[in-house]
Amino acid sequence: MKIIHLFKVFPVAVFLIVLYSCKNEVKEEIITNQISTEAVSQSQKGQAFIEDESSTPNVLQIAIKSPDHTTLVAAVQAANLENVLVNAGPLMVFAPTNAAFKALPAGTVEDLLKPENKEKLAAILKHHVTAGNYDKNFLKNLVKQMIQMLL
Amino acid sequence: MKTYKFQLLSLFGALILLTSCGNNNGQNKSSGALNSSNAEKVYVAPGEHDEFYAFMSGGYSGNLTVYGLPSGRMFKEIPVFSQFPTSGYGYSEETKPMLETSHGFVPWDDSHHPDISQTNGELDGRWIFINGNNTPRIARISLTTFETEEIIEVPNSAGNHSSSFVTENSEYVVAGTRFSVPIPQRDMPINEYKGNFQGALSFISVDPKHGHMDIKFQIIMPGFNYDLSHPGRGKSHGWFFFTTYNTEEANSLQEVNSSQNDKDFIAAINWKKVEEYVNSGGGKKVPAKYAHNIYDEATHTATSTMKKEVLTVNPLDVPGAVFFLPTPKSPHGCDVDPTGNYIIGNGKLSADLTVHSFDNMIAAIEGEKFDGEAYGIPILKFEDVLAGTVKSGGLGPLHTEFDGKGNAYTTFFISSEVVKWKLGTWEVIDRKPTYYSVGHLMIPGGNSRKPFGKYVVALNKITKDRYLPVGPEMEHSAQIYDISGEKMELLYDFPTHGEPHYAAGIPAELLAPKAKKIYRLDENKHPYAVTSPDQARVERKGNEVHIYMSTIRSHFTPDNIEGVKVGDKVYFHITNHEQDFDVPHGFAMIGQNSSELLIMPGQTKSSLWEPKQVGVWPFYCTDFCSALHQEMQGYIRVSPANSNIEISWSLGED
């Protein structure tokens, strides 16, 4: 799982899986990048779609360029969350990699990508975003504190 | 009784509604509020863009406002001649020099006639120029940043009104004086005006690369009032035309004394001839004092230079360069049609429009058919230059624009209407009322070789009952008409800010793609910029304290500063480290005798604070930049003047 900070890209922080992975059993599954074309065409408007060569890439543009986040991007597009992700924030996105999606039970992702489950998908994805401006050290300390509490 | 009346009225209204619904099925011809197609024509759906930009002069706001057409939505107010606390223009250390003049700092003006730069007689969308009427100045505004980049003062001028119109290739932006004055200025009796006062017509060259302006020459004309002007185009390229009034040279009660002559003049200036004369060493350099202020985008800073002399030209020294065309009834607007052949002088006390022909004028000049002279300048015979008269039936014609399809549109102030007429036949095709007392009108590109004749906007002087009342002072109103058909159709009313005089419009596709989104931080050459937060610091130099501060969502670096003392001059130099479109940060300091700063991504702005009271004083970001905007604040500890607390600063330390 990768953390994509709104301003900077952070390396993998494995321990976060403890905090953010789903409760569901982990199984391998191949995920196709099927997206409803209707959803895409509806979602092609707004601040996420401004042609802008000059600004620093935002979190969505970074994810789109990342080969490890194709499933996440497909899910974000299916849920029409592009404009939310590029909001002024500050937002921190805990971005599941393709591998993390593959670890979900068979059929989970395909099911969520269906148009009728758009709201459910959006709700799940929004749980991977937190408002705030936290740096790596702050999160490390937080995890340490939480582990100590559990022990 | 009242209720009864109301019910009856509603019933009646409902009936009308029903009948008109039925009627509409069969025919397209309907008018008024029930015509839904008018609503569709101006409706720009949420998230959609307008077809045209319209730049409206701010008049006594001193600024320039940007609207969309056909929606009438306002996008921006560009500060030009006036201090603008919204952004800190004219308050920040970087922009104060923009408002310097030979009279010192002048934080206001009366902006009148915007004109977009041209190449080959067509709008090229590089810059827009506008004149300051009161303390004569011409400004150049970038159409990529939509910010004022340059202001040049115009000496020997007063009431800078027949300005700021550009020639066909933006060789010159031209500024003519409305009020004649003693040249050079001197102490003399006012009633010796006649024969002693003079009027300067200034040709300001525009650097084709950077747009930088420089007064190339001033033609010193007789002491008339030079009211409006427009360049020749096409075949008349190389000429410039100015309406005059007060050829009586009255210096008092002009509303009576300037209306004595049946005809005043349009002054025709062959500027190419004058340019040749000047280029070969002609003209006389005379002492003058005028400010030239340039804003540098790389340093985000303006500098002001005081110029010491100007080149003047006596029109009698350049034979064949200046002629007078008699034009009835104190002409106001002076407009040239897209072909460059017709010069329209709108006699504001007349019902008719006078149209002169460039071809006729050239023939009369070549035939030396003169009807006397004024101060040595040849007067052409009215009948020889006249192309036609538009018998409009309106009252008080002011300004004319063109649709590029052979039609002209003239405003009538007194009869509150726009009249459409045909060039060449002079027949009136249509007339529509305006609400009320229209001044200028604007068709995008309507005074160029290539007008975009889809809409005309009427800029009205009087609003009265058009909107909900807001006390004695009201915004002015504009009306947009569809002119794509034979008859004009009033589509929409919208309020405008300040007092728009003229306006300039341009298709959105020519500007929108090149509008700047951010300033690049790595190109920031401001001497007080900090390009990374670790450069942020506070330096004391005597009683000056310079705070090199950076901002990014959602904090200032540094945000705790100590060691400042009462009596210090504290300069905040704030660099916005955001590199995202539309993420400015604001800065405001309690008790600061100035405005806020609004700093665009990658930009540096500075402001001065002179703390007068001991204490711990907060500052904060004024722009709701993020969900943690409320956290974006800091403190400055101000100690007594005799304190020995050293300067220190921090961020995120306990």
| Cβ-Cβ contacts under 8 Å, A45 against chain B | 47
Cβ pair B516:A52 closer than 8 A? no
Cβ pair B628:A132 closer than 8 A? yes
Closest alpha carbon to B365 in B383, B341, B384? B384
| Cβ-Cβ contacts under 8 Å, B628 against chain A | 90, 131-133
- Kindly tell me if the per-residue pLDDT of B414 is higher than 50: yes
Instruction: Identify the three-state secondary structure at position A49.
Output: helix
Cβ pair B628:A46 closer than 8 A? no
> What is B524-650's CATH number, 2.60.40.420, 3.90.550.10, 3.30.70.20, 1.20.1250.20?
2.60.40.420
Q: CB-based contact (8 Å) between B652 and chain A?
A: no
Distance between CA atoms of residues B499 and B60, nearest Å:
6
Question: Worst-scoring range by mean pLDDT, B348-352, B570-574, B597-601, B622-626?
Answer: B348-352
Q: CB-based contact (8 Å) between B522 and chain A?
A: no
Question: Worst-scoring range by mean pLDDT, B22-36, B303-317, B511-525?
Answer: B22-36
| Cβ-Cβ contacts under 8 Å, A133 against chain B | 553-554, 628
Chain A: closest CA distance from residue B603 (Å): 14
| CA closest to B625 among chain A residues | A88
pLDDT band at A37 (very low <50, low <70, confident <90, very high): very low
Chain A: closest CA distance from residue B578 (Å): 9
Which CA distances in Å does B329 have to B243, B333, B334, B414, B525? Answer: 11, 12, 13, 14, 55
Chain A: closest CA distance from residue B393 (Å): 51
pLDDT band at A151 (very low <50, low <70, confident <90, very high): confident
pLDDT band at B402 (very low <50, low <70, confident <90, very high): very high
| Cβ-Cβ contacts under 8 Å, B581 against chain A | 50, 52, 54-55
> According to the model, what pLDDT value does residue B3 have?
45
Largest CA distance in chain B: 90
| Cβ-Cβ contacts under 8 Å, B516 against chain A | 54
Cβ pair B579:A89 closer than 8 A? no
Best mutation target, A133, A137, A138, to test chain B (most B CBs within 10 A)? A133
Cβ pair A54:B517 closer than 8 A? yes
Q: CB-based contact (8 Å) between B518 and chain A?
A: yes
Mind listing the pLDDT tens digit for each residue in B590-603? 999 999 999 999 99
- Kindly tell me if the per-residue pLDDT of B17 is higher than 60: no
- Kindly tell me if the per-residue pLDDT of A13 is higher than 90: no
Percent of chain A at pLDDT exceeding 90: 36
> According to the model, what pLDDT value does residue A51 have?
87
Distance between CA atoms of residues B44 and B634, nearest Å:
42
End-to-end CA distance of chain A: 24
Closest alpha carbon to B569 in B623, B517, B608, B622? B608
> According to the model, what pLDDT value does residue A92 have?
86
Is residue B293 classed exposed, middle or buried when 0-12, 13-18 and 19+ CB atoms within 10 A define those classes? buried
Percent of chain B at pLDDT exceeding 70: 94
Chain B: closest CA distance from residue A106 (Å): 38
Cβ pair A89:B626 closer than 8 A? yes
With a threshold of 0.90, does the pTM exceed it?
A: no
| CA closest to A130 among chain B residues | B627
Closest alpha carbon to B637 in B649, B627, B629? B649
Contact B177, B131 (CB under 8 A): no
Cβ pair A54:B583 closer than 8 A? no
Chain B: closest CA distance from residue A61 (Å): 13
Of the candidates A7, A55, A58, which has its C-beta nearest B518's C-beta?
A55
Chain A: closest CA distance from residue B37 (Å): 26
Question: Worst-scoring range by mean pLDDT, A74-78, B73-77, B197-201, B204-208?
Answer: A74-78
> According to the model, what pLDDT value does residue A6 have?
41
Stretch B314-343: mean pLDDT = 97
- Kindly tell me if the per-residue pLDDT of B356 is higher than 70: yes
Q: CB-based contact (8 Å) between A49 and chain B?
A: no
**Side chain identity at residue A66, one-letter code:** S
Stretch B425-449: mean pLDDT = 96
Q: For the complex shown, is ipTM > 0.90?
A: no
| Cβ-Cβ contacts under 8 Å, B515 against chain A | none
Is residue B186 classed exposed, middle or buried when 0-12, 13-18 and 19+ CB atoms within 10 A define those classes? exposed
Is residue B565 classed exposed, middle or buried when 0-12, 13-18 and 19+ CB atoms within 10 A define those classes? buried
Contact B536, B609 (CB under 8 A): no
If you average pLDDT over every residue of chain B, what do you get? 94
Q: CB-based contact (8 Å) between B600 and chain A?
A: no
Q: CB-based contact (8 Å) between A135 and chain B?
A: no
- Kindly tell me if the per-residue pLDDT of B321 is higher than 60: yes
Distance between CA atoms of residues B358 and B380, nearest Å:
12
Q: CB-based contact (8 Å) between A151 and chain B?
A: no
Cβ pair A88:B626 closer than 8 A? yes
> According to the model, what pLDDT value does residue A2 have?
46
Of the candidates B552, B580, B601, which has its C-beta nearest A58's C-beta?
B580
Count CB pairs under 8 A between chains A and B: 42
Mind listing the pLDDT tens digit for each residue in B268-292? 999 999 999 999 999 999 999 999 9
Distance between CA atoms of residues B431 and B419, nearest Å:
4
> According to the model, what pLDDT value does residue B392 have?
85
Best mutation target, A55, A56, A91, to test chain B (most B CBs within 10 A)? A55
Q: CB-based contact (8 Å) between A136 and chain B?
A: no
Question: Worst-scoring range by mean pLDDT, A64-78, A136-150, B350-364?
Answer: A136-150
- Kindly tell me if the per-residue pLDDT of A130 is higher than 50: yes
- Kindly tell me if the per-residue pLDDT of B351 is higher than 70: yes
Cβ pair A55:B627 closer than 8 A? no
Instruction: Identify the three-state secondary structure at position B273.
Output: helix
Which CA distances in Å does B648 have to A70, B65, B509, B537, B630? Answer: 48, 43, 51, 9, 24
- Kindly tell me if the per-residue pLDDT of A7 is higher than 60: no
| Cβ-Cβ contacts under 8 Å, A58 against chain B | 580
Chain B: closest CA distance from residue A1 (Å): 25
Q: What are phi and psi of B650, to 5 degrees?
A: -160, 170
Cβ pair A133:B628 closer than 8 A? yes
Closest alpha carbon to B342 in B266, B439, B453? B266
Cβ pair A88:B583 closer than 8 A? yes
Strand ranges, E, within B375-523:
377-380, 386-391, 397-402, 407-412, 417-422, 428-433, 438-442, 455-460, 476-482, 489-496, 503-507
- Kindly tell me if the per-residue pLDDT of B613 is higher than 70: yes
Cβ-based neighbours of B98, under 8 Å, separated by 6 or more: B89, B90, B148, B151, B293, B295, B302, B304
Contact B639, B548 (CB under 8 A): no
Q: CB-based contact (8 Å) between A71 and chain B?
A: no
Q: CB-based contact (8 Å) between A45 and chain B?
A: yes
> According to the model, what pLDDT value does residue B35 have?
55
As separate numbers, helices (DSSP H) first and strands (DSSP E) second, chain B gives 7, 45
Question: Worst-scoring range by mean pLDDT, B1-5, B108-112, B393-397, B407-411?
Answer: B1-5
Stretch B189-200: mean pLDDT = 97
DSSP B194: T
- Kindly tell me if the per-residue pLDDT of A132 is higher than 90: no
Mind listing the pLDDT tens digit for each residue in B76-135? 999 999 999 999 999 999 999 999 999 999 999 999 999 999 999 999 999 999 999 999
Mind listing the pLDDT tens digit for each residue in B369-380? 899 999 999 999
> According to the model, what pLDDT value does residue B226 have?
98
Mind listing the pLDDT tens digit for each residue in B120-175? 999 999 999 999 999 999 999 999 999 999 999 999 999 999 999 999 999 999 99
> According to the model, what pLDDT value does residue A43 have?
54
| Cβ-Cβ contacts under 8 Å, B579 against chain A | 54-56
Residues 120-149 of B with CB under 8 A from A: none
DSSP B52: E
For strands B213-222 and B301-313, give the pairing.
Answer: parallel
Distance between CA atoms of residues B590 and B549, nearest Å:
17
Which segments of B472-595 does DSSP mark as H helices, in order?
508-511
Stretch A90-116: mean pLDDT = 92
When comparing pLDDT for A34 and A14, which is higher? A34
Cβ pair B628:A7 closer than 8 A? no
Distance between CA atoms of residues B504 and B491, nearest Å:
19
Distance between CA atoms of residues B519 and B542, nearest Å:
33
> Could you please report the per-residue DSSP string of B146-169?
-SEEEEEE-TT-SS--S--EEPTT
Best mutation target, A54, A59, A85, A137, to test chain B (most B CBs within 10 A)? A54
pLDDT band at A15 (very low <50, low <70, confident <90, very high): very low
CATH architecture of the domain A52-150 equals Roll (2.30)
Chain A: closest CA distance from residue B237 (Å): 39
pLDDT band at B403 (very low <50, low <70, confident <90, very high): very high
Contact B107, B96 (CB under 8 A): no
Question: Worst-scoring range by mean pLDDT, A80-84, B433-437, B443-447?
Answer: A80-84
Q: CB-based contact (8 Å) between A138 and chain B?
A: no
Percent of chain B at pLDDT exceeding 90: 90
Stretch B298-309: mean pLDDT = 98
pLDDT band at A21 (very low <50, low <70, confident <90, very high): very low
- Kindly tell me if the per-residue pLDDT of B33 is higher than 70: no
- Kindly tell me if the per-residue pLDDT of B20 is higher than 90: no
Stretch A63-87: mean pLDDT = 92
Distance between CA atoms of residues B461 and B458, nearest Å:
10
What fold is seen in the domain B52-514? Answer: Methylamine Dehydrogenase; Chain H (2.130.10)
- Kindly tell me if the per-residue pLDDT of B34 is higher than 60: no
| Cβ-Cβ contacts under 8 Å, B632 against chain A | none
| Cβ-Cβ contacts under 8 Å, B552 against chain A | 7
When comparing pLDDT for A34 and B367, which is higher? B367
